[in-house]
Amino acid sequence: MCGIIGYTGKKNCVPFLLDGLKRLEYRGYDSAGVFILQGGQIVTVRSVGKVAELEKMVLQTNPKGTTGLGHTRWATHGKPSEENSHPHTDCTGDLVVVHNGIIENYLSLREKLESRGHKFRSETDTEIIAHLLEENLLHVRASDDEDRLIKAIAKTNKALSGAYAYYVMWTRTPYLLAGTKVQNPLVVGIGKEENFLASDVPAFLQHTRKVLFVEDGEIVIIKSSSIRLFDKAGVEKSRKPVKIDWDQKKIEKGGFRHFMLKEIHDQPQALEDTLRTEREGFGKILNLDTTGLRKLHTVHIVACGTAYHAALIGKYYIEQLAGISTQVELASEYKYRALVPATNALAIAISQSGETADTLGAIQKAKEAGFGTLAICNVKGSSLTRLCDHVFYTHCGPEISVASTKAFTSQLVALYALALFLGQSNGNISRGFFEKSYKELLSLPKAMDEVLKLEYDVRHLTRKIYKEKQFIFLGRHVNYPIALEGALKVKEVSYKNAEGFAAGEIKHGPISIIEKGTPVFILMPEDRLFEKMVFACQECRARGAFVVAITTKAGAKQLKNIADKIITVPTTNELLQPVLDVVPLQILAYWIAKRLGCDIDHPRHLAKSVTVE
């Protein structure tokens, strides 16, 4: 959904911009550009494709300046072409705007602006912001150019509808950058004699960990040694910066070829970091209103994509451990259904980024219907964390790969702990059961280390199957969402057709797609459903499938002549088993994509945070 970085300071901004763009590339990679104030003029270098292409062009033109902006685009309006690449300028060319998000009323605004003589050079919604600012700069009353810019932005925002963050550079105020946002992220990095504006913290993390989160409607002005914040009416206000605890190592590949593989291997640490703070975290959250929680009789969970798969498993956790009726819904669907107003009800939103537009819309709806709200989120200060009554942070560090891995398993441990705490506070589980289960939860990082040792085996397996035209995943109960997640992982990074099904459903239709040699991955730990899964194995094999069983040690012994290949994962309790079972599927997706030569960290058509509906 576009990545933006801005720098103003004493040094040449170009290396800061290029490095920041590379770190934001997960947000979009259709085209990229940098725009630098050089000798009172705005110099623009832009190219279609990834930041590497832009870098080549920058080397040729060698622009220099101490204030500049960079943008990497995920196309919404207008195809990925040079004229649609950012930045966009007003008619004078003295003002540039870069933008992330969507301006919903851009067609009507464009018509009006054109009728007033503005000349458009692109098909984008961004360009209307530049022309609106051009007009408003002429019409607001102000004490100086900086004041004029702030007032013009406030006035422009009143005309815009949609979710956006935009950044402005103006030749009349060459020492500053301005930014504003509504439902899209905008963070300020506070350095020494240099400051940054960006869509996400990794863009400047190697230079500063001191961060200021800008809120909806606010306007921020950064100069090399000062930051000014204004409310939507243009009145100055202040906010304390926060210190981000992510370190530089967490945003590097650390010897791995791709972030996806690195993040798969980060999982033991991610779980440990999440669990370390979890007990205290949920204790604090739940103590806020223990009586309310005792009465809680409905939980709704909303999320998208991989986080939705975590939510599906969360339902099993909360219903089984806390005895509370739980509904899970795709956030994009939840927003548009009739919601019965509720009391004693909690809505949980799960999101790695905390910026997913659909999830934000869904939790807002639940809030309006009287639900208490809890965010399970990985990004401090993100929109979701500000919207919800309570926040529980997963601590898996920045997730850079577009395909989510460590955020998913961290969300699962968070949900399990939540269910345990709820069950304990409403008396659904005993103290002894709580302690035993919590111990099992704490043993997961070690088991995760073990499961990662399967990489060699899984990688070897992909050599045999990576050219197959389709992949099927089957699971039951808590492993059904893992089948969905395995299929999603394969689809998004290798572009192969992959489907996940509830094992009991295949005979109701899906079995017909099995052909000779179709790889079918069956999640079948040795538990009370094991025998039923053995039937599924046999049904698929009888139709020519190449059956891979993902099982535990006790299951492996029984599957010798039933599956074509057995992958043995460590055993934990039935509800936690999916946390381990998903790992071989993540590795599988990675290695299929790697063998096919796919751009794993930047899968086609995708972006990491989906900040538009």
Give contact residues for ligand F6R (rule: CB under 6 A).
304-307, 351-353, 356, 359, 403-404, 488, 492, 609-610
- Residue with the CB atom nearest ligand F6R in the bound state: 305
Identify which of residues 151 and 594 has a Cβ nearer to ligand F6R in the complex: 594
Residue 305 Cβ, how far from ligand F6R at the closest point, in Å?
2
CA distance 75 to 65: 28
Q: 436 vs 274, 440, 441, CA distance in Å?
A: 19, 6, 9
Residue 517 Cβ, how far from ligand F6R at the closest point, in Å?
27
Residue 585 Cβ, how far from ligand F6R at the closest point, in Å?
12
Identify which of residues 311 and 536 has a Cβ nearer to ligand F6R in the complex: 311
The separation between CA 284 and the C-alpha centre of its own chain, rounded to angstroms, equals: 26
Q: What is the dihedral of CA 331, 335, 338, 340, to 10 degrees?
A: 70
Straight-line distance from the first to the last Cα atom of the chain, in angstroms, rounded to the nearest whole number: 11
CA distance 542 to 485: 25
Residue 57 Cβ, how far from ligand F6R at the closest point, in Å?
30
Q: 197 vs 61, 68, 71, 462, 502, CA distance in Å?
A: 24, 10, 12, 42, 45
Residue 13 Cβ, how far from ligand F6R at the closest point, in Å?
29
CA distance 38 to 63: 8
Identify which of residues 153 and 198 has a Cβ nearer to ligand F6R in the complex: 198
Residue 476 Cβ, how far from ligand F6R at the closest point, in Å?
22
Sheet with 372-377: list strands edge to edge. Answer: 325-330, 298-303, 345-351, 372-377, 390-393
CA distance 542 to 353: 43
Residue 408 Cβ, how far from ligand F6R at the closest point, in Å?
8
| Residues linked to residue 98 through DSSP beta bridges, in sequence order | 167
CA distance 225 to 236: 17
Identify which of residues 113 and 303 has a Cβ nearer to ligand F6R in the complex: 303
Residue 481 Cβ, how far from ligand F6R at the closest point, in Å?
13
Count how many residues are written for the chain.
Answer: 613
Q: 538 vs 243, 294, 511, 518, 561, CA distance in Å?
A: 55, 46, 12, 14, 10
Catalytic residues: 2, 608
Residue 350 Cβ, how far from ligand F6R at the closest point, in Å?
7
- CA–CA–CA angle 462, 468, 471 (5° rounding): 80
CA distance 500 to 503: 9
Identify which of residues 109 and 360 has a Cβ nearer to ligand F6R in the complex: 360
Residue 609 Cβ, how far from ligand F6R at the closest point, in Å?
5
Q: How deeply is 62 buried, as exposed, middle or buried, from its count of CB atoms within 10 A (0-12, 13-18, 19+)? A: exposed
Identify which of residues 191 and 486 has a Cβ nearer to ligand F6R in the complex: 486
| Residues linked to residue 177 through DSSP beta bridges, in sequence order | 222
Identify which of residues 356 and 552 has a Cβ nearer to ligand F6R in the complex: 356
The separation between CA 439 and the C-alpha centre of its own chain, rounded to angstroms, equals: 30
Candidates 115, 99, 120, 233; CA nearest to 167 is 99
* Torsional class of 387: left (φ above 0), alpha (ψ -120 to 50), beta (otherwise): alpha
Identify which of residues 109 and 483 has a Cβ nearer to ligand F6R in the complex: 483
Q: What is the dihedral of CA 111, 117, 121, 124, to 10 degrees?
A: -30
Candidates 478, 488, 372, 359; CA nearest to 416 is 478
Q: How deeply is 460 buried, as exposed, middle or buried, from its count of CB atoms within 10 A (0-12, 13-18, 19+)? A: exposed
CB 71 within 8 A of CB 47: no
Residue 75, token pair as written in the block:
């196309």
Q: How deeply is 70 buried, as exposed, middle or buried, from its count of CB atoms within 10 A (0-12, 13-18, 19+)? A: buried
* Strand ranges in 263-400 using DSSP code E only, listed in sequence order: 298-303, 325-330, 345-351, 372-377, 390-393
Residue 254 Cβ, how far from ligand F6R at the closest point, in Å?
20
Identify which of residues 7 and 308 has a Cβ nearer to ligand F6R in the complex: 308
Identify which of residues 58 and 374 has a Cβ nearer to ligand F6R in the complex: 374
Identify which of residues 420 and 488 has a Cβ nearer to ligand F6R in the complex: 488
